[in-house]
Structure 1
Amino acid sequence: MTVTTSPPTARTRQREEVSQQELVRYLEDRFACAQACDDCVRECAVRQGPAECGEGARLNTACADVCDATSRVLAEQSD
């Protein structure tokens, strides 16, 4: 069984380009989110001391980890 594919049309290439742009924008947003969460944890530690940040620091650290991991996995995808 042979599978033949037709060459990509201009419309298909345009959709792929838009999808790529959307992925890049999404990744940039996730990296920015991770950075903001890390900054919040640092600022809390400076203002209140590490022991006083409590649950907020833990949640911000977890959020940064999730955003960072998601971005890294998606950035490694070839398609």
Structure 2
Amino acid sequence: MTNRDQEETLVEGVSEGEVLAARAEEEKCIKPFAVIVERLVRFLSSQQEVNQFIAESVLEKAVAEPIQKGFKTEVQESPITNSLR
């Protein structure tokens, strides 16, 4: 707060103590908000790592599926079932 601001508030009949008390109350309101914002930023930052892992897993799955679709599968009897007959 500048000297000019202090002079203006004192002229209007508001004491310096009242101004400081109002300022302290304002800071009390801002601090919890800053903590919440900090937590959100940390959460969203950690989500990016998880999202990259999910994107990689999905990409691997998407690449693997078309390759598997191209294969022809034939049913073959196992040697064990042939020997039992």
Tell me the TM-score range normalised by the shorter chain: 0.3 to 0.5
The structure, 1 or 2, with the larger RCO (C-alpha pairs under 8 Å, 6+ apart) is 1
Q: Normalised by the size of structure 2, how large is the TM-score?
A: 0.40
